[in-house]
Amino acid sequence: MTLLWVKGLHLAFMVAWFAGIFYLPRLFVYHAQTESSEVSAQLKVMERRLLYFVTPFAILTLVFGLWLIFAYGSAWFAASGWMHVKLVIVALLYGYHIYCFKLLADFAHDRNRRSHKFYRVFNEVPVLALFAIILLAVLKPF
């Protein structure tokens, strides 16, 4: 029963984390497009609050994910090739999350040099990662 709770919490925190990293780059799109200092100031507040709000969800996703790996054991982990691929994608996603702090700082200090088109593409990265992670976890292809 404990394992089901751990798995449920892992999934719940993952969903909350993804909600934030789906929305944050959308705010970056709007921020890159605006020429209004008032709108820019409001977006700076929204971006900062959102990133700091979802970061604990990212951490808790990691904690409960690692708990699951240890609970299933090293033999299961060694035999789960799909999990190794999933963890590479997850590691890249954490890198994406950390990079969002750099982008946040650039906007906060009015140093953004990227266009709204860059942020539109950047916004799609977590969607692709989520699809890959879910398909790997459900299909367990290798």
**Res 122: pLDDT:** 98
**Res 1: pLDDT:** 80
Which range marks the domain in which residue 64 is found? 1-141
Binding residue numbers for heme = 10, 86
CA angle (131, 134, 136) in 5-degree steps? 105
Q: Rounded CA gap, 22 and 26, in Å?
A: 7
How do residues 67-88 score in pLDDT, each as one tens digit?
A: 999 999 999 999 999 999 999 9
Binding residue numbers = 10, 86
How do residues 84-134 score in pLDDT, each as one tens digit?
A: 999 999 999 999 999 999 999 999 999 999 999 999 999 999 999 999 999
Number of domains in the chain: 1
Calculate mean pLDDT across residues 8-34. Answer: 98
Smallest CA-to-CA distance from 21 within 132, 124, 133, 135 is with 124
DSSP output for the chain: -HHHHHHHHHHHHHHHHHHHHHHHHHHHHHHHH---HHHHHHHHHHHHHHHHHHHHHHHHHHHHHHHHHHHH-HHHHHH-HHHHHHHHHHHHHHHHHHHHHHHHHHHHTT-----HHHHHHHTTHHHHHHHHHHHHHHH---
How do residues 28-50 score in pLDDT, each as one tens digit?
A: 999 999 999 999 999 999 999 99
